[in-house]
Structure 1
Amino acid sequence: MSGVTIHQVAEAAGVSASTVSNVLNGRTDRMQPATLARVEEAIEKLSYRPNRAARMLRTGRIRVIGLIVPSVANPFWGALARELEAIALAEGYHVLLCNSERDPARELKYGEELLADGVSGVVLCSSLPSIDHMTPLLKRGLKMVAFDRTAQAGDPPSLASISVDNAMGAELATRHLLELGHRRLAFVSGSVNSVNRRERLRGFRAALEEAGLGPDAGLVWPGADATEFGDKESAELGRSAARELLARPDAPTGFVAVNDMCAIGVCRGARDAGLAAGRDVSVVGFDDILLADLFEPPLTTVRQPLPEMAGETFQQLRASIEQGRVAGRSLLIRPRLVVRESTAPAPLG
């Protein structure tokens, strides 16, 4: 049978793909005889032959890392993939890209497949509060760096964390609007059940408190379904938020969006309401994707220094892979506010 994959063999034998990989590579010392027999029977029955690329991955003749992002529908993650790949290629590594939609089960499946194919290091970008679903893979030797996620209590000691200071970034965005005279502000996001978004919301609230404004001054719009992150629909989420919030009697004049695509959607929603971003309302994004400067009006945003972050991420992961470091490193990188034309002084009245 041609085209048979390691995962089909694993399914036929009732085991994981990594167990099949262990059999193929002679790592059977701790395996139950019955399990070994089932795998060997499935290999023979399906006439499975490992492909050359998989053999190269397992033997280490080429070096590969995995990159698991929420969704490249958000250009920020595509930009990260480009930066990381350029750095990796210069050092003799290749990058495999996976979109997880922040689904723990999907992330685990990707991790198992990557490990089974000989990939020994992964950059995980979902920023979920817990990575317990990935812990079994770490125990089996997978090296991991959490990107855009600060270290959390209960994280495995081997986990490295590289992140921009999300709270500081949101504070910069909110203070900018306050300095322009805005007093009715809104924070727009999908679900805030991720570490990075919680930190951005915390920064938004901290800036309001610092300015002496009560909690009613800051509206929080998590989305129609607060359990959905909206990674693929960020622009439409922002548009819906603007339509809803601008129809209120106490409509905000300033918006802090969870990312640039969401901010672009807010600008469009304001236009739907007959208002103009940068004149009638002010909008600040987060990330500084390429579209931010090309959009009309050009978007005020919080810049994540992607080249620096990607470089630190790769170096940490390579050190873990090549030097076998056990203790992970936690690094917090400063963001920068980039002021463009989507923000302006608050309207009078």
Structure 2
Amino acid sequence: MHHNFRIAITALLAVFLLSSCADRPSRVVLKGGTMGTTWSVIYSEPEQDGPGVSAEELQTLIETELLAINQTLSTYIPESEISLLNSSPDESSVLLSSRFSTVLDAALSVGGLTDGAYDVTVRPLVELWGFGARTREPVPPTEAQIQAAMVFVGAHRLSWNAEASTLSRPAGVEVDLSSIAKGYAVDQLSDMLAARGVVDSLVEIGGELRARGQRPEGGLWRLAVESPDPSQSRFIEALAVSDAAVATSGDYRNYFEYEGRRYSHLVDPRSGYPVAHELVSVTVVHRECMTADALATALLVLGLDAALQLAKSQGIAAHFVARGEEALEVHYTPAFEAYRQNTQAGESP
């Protein structure tokens, strides 16, 4: 029996876990819901020589941690730290928690790396195009509406003091960390398990994963990237990882069509328009899921040529799926090669 934890939300390409056919007693699986999706944790039960920690205790610890993260980063919770920041008086200097500061600093770093292709202030454009919290008719906004929203977009409008952990922003400029929050939460859960003696684990939230150690059955954790075109094959790439995180971003699930044109949910903060290029999905392997999560989104916005160039120059392990003239094309950086499985990607490893 295969244990496929497949979570498809808001067009993020889910990554599949392919486990061994034989479940052994040492394998423990925990599950739950968070951030509008689901989470799962698979781990090897620690040796019982020490005090140990029960599955029930871990389940409670995980749920408590996820609640705390949401209370910091969720724009859907009116009293969350990020919601209070976005409603704070204009230009006021707000002291951020260490949790918030860590995530914001990482997001701004990725934004700088990509010259603004990734931007934590893009929310007004996402809402304008109908892909945010508010529902609206799938009709493209006017150029005037786009330009009006662009006034409030751009991380350069934020005044961030990393040393003091203080942030101020002009009126109308909001921070949204939803494109990095799941990756951060994966890291936090993985670290928490390791701190409690769980050395072999796979943590997953909404398709973003982080592996530590090895599978309960032994050997590297085996993962597969779902194909954007299921009619061709179920999976498009098989991976084997240990002590690494994997995040995938895709634009092929969440979109609308208007007068024969397809509009992706992924809005380029530099232009104000949804991305319209051949790149379909990006998978990034990195030591941190938080960074992998943000980079996958950033590289997808950049488009194939610019993304490949940046990923190669920065030594990023990245895998790209693009629309070719007749079929999907796969590209990847040299750093990604180490994780590729020598198996038929269309089948289970």
Q: What is the TM-score when the length of structure 2 is the normalising length? A: 0.25
**By percentage of residues, which structure has more strand?**
2
More helix by share: 1
